[in-house]
Amino acid sequence: MQDACLAPSLGEAYREHFLIGAAVNAHMLRDEQYQRLIRRQFTSITAENEMKPESLLDREATLALGDPIRCALRFDLADRMLSFAQACGIRVRYHTIVWHNQTPRWFFAEGWSDAPDAPLADTETVLSRQEAYILQVMEHVNRVFPGLVYCWDVVNEAVEPAQGGPDGLRTHSLWYQTTGSAFLAHAFRAARKGQAEGQLLFYNDYNSYFPEKQEAILKVLKNLQAEHLVDGMGMQTHLDIGSLDLPAFETGARAYAKMGLTLHITEMDIHCPGADEESQALLAKAYGDFFAMLLRLQREGAKIGCATLWGVTDQYTWLRFFRKQESYPLLFSGELKTKPAFDAVMDAAKAGEAAAARW
Residue of 130, 156, 207, 327 interacting with ligand GLA (CB under 6 A): 156
Shorter beta-carbon distance to ligand GLA: residue 236 or 333 = 236
Residue from 231, 267, 314, 343 binding ligand GLA (CB under 6 A): 267
Q: Which of 43, 103, 179, 236 binds ligand GLA (CB under 6 A)?
A: 236
Minimum gap (Å) between residue 276 Cβ and ligand GLA: 25
The residue (of 18 and 202) whose beta carbon lies closer to ligand GLA is: 202
Nearer to ligand GLA, 13 or 200 (CB): 200
Instruction: Please name the amino acid found at residue 241.
Output: I
**Three-state secondary-structure class, residue 344:** helix
Find, among 267, 279, 223, the residue nearest to 96 by Cα: 267
Binding flags for ligand GLA, 315-334, as an x/- string (CB under 6 A): ---x----------------
**Nearest-approach distance from CB 330 to ligand GLA, in angstroms:** 13
H-state helical runs in the chain? 10-13, 26-29, 32-41, 53-56, 59-65, 76-88, 123-144, 174-179, 182-194, 211-226, 246-258, 277-299, 319-322, 340-358
Binding flag, residue 206, ligand GLA (CB under 6 A): yes
Quick check: helix, strand or coil at residue 355? Answer: helix
112 or 176: CB nearest ligand GLA: 176
Residue 115 Cβ vs ligand GLA, minimum distance, rounded to whole Å = 26
Residues forming a β-bridge with 304: 263
Q: How many chain residues are in contact with ligand GLA, going by CB under 6 A?
A: 6
Nearest 10 degrees: Cα torsion 348, 351, 353, 357: -150
Shortest spacing between CB 156 and ligand GLA, in angstroms = 5
Does position 290 bind ligand GLA by CB under 6 A? Answer: no
For β-strands 19-24 and 44-47, DSSP reports them as parallel
Closest to ligand GLA by CB, 98 or 294? 98
Q: Name the nearest CA neighbour of 250 among 235, 240, 260, 238.
A: 235
Residue environment code for 98-135, b if the CB has 16+ CB neighbours within 10 A, otherwise e = bbbeebeebbbbeebbeeeeeeebeeebbbbbbbebbe
In the beta sheet, which residues pair with residue 151?
Answer: 93, 200
221-240: burial string, b at 16+ Cβ within 10 Å, e else: bebbeeeebbbbbbbbbbbb
Residues involved in catalysis: 157, 267
Residue number with the smallest Cβ distance to ligand GLA: 318
Q: How far is the CB of 53 from ligand GLA (least distance, A)?
A: 11
Of residues 36-65, those binding ligand GLA (CB under 6 A)? none
Angstrom distances, CA of residue 16 to CA of 88, 139, 180, 267? 19, 31, 42, 21
Rank residues 179 and 236 by Cβ distance to ligand GLA and give the closer one.
Answer: 236
The span from the CA of 105 to the CA of 196, in Å, is: 29
Task: Give the Å distances, CA to CA, from 263 to 18, 255, 302.
Answer: 10, 10, 8
Q: How far apart are CA 18 and CA 91, in angstroms?
A: 12
Q: Does 160 bind ligand GLA (CB under 6 A)?
A: no
8 Å CB contact between 283 and 329: yes
Min separation Cβ 66 and ligand GLA, Å:
32
Which of 13, 159 has the CB closer to ligand GLA? 159
Tell me the closest approach of the beta carbon of residue 195 to ligand GLA, in angstroms: 20
Mask of contacts with ligand GLA, 61-100, x by CB under 6 A?
A: ----------------------------------x-----
Query: Where does this chain bind ligand GLA (CB under 6 A)?
Result: 95, 156, 206, 236, 267, 318
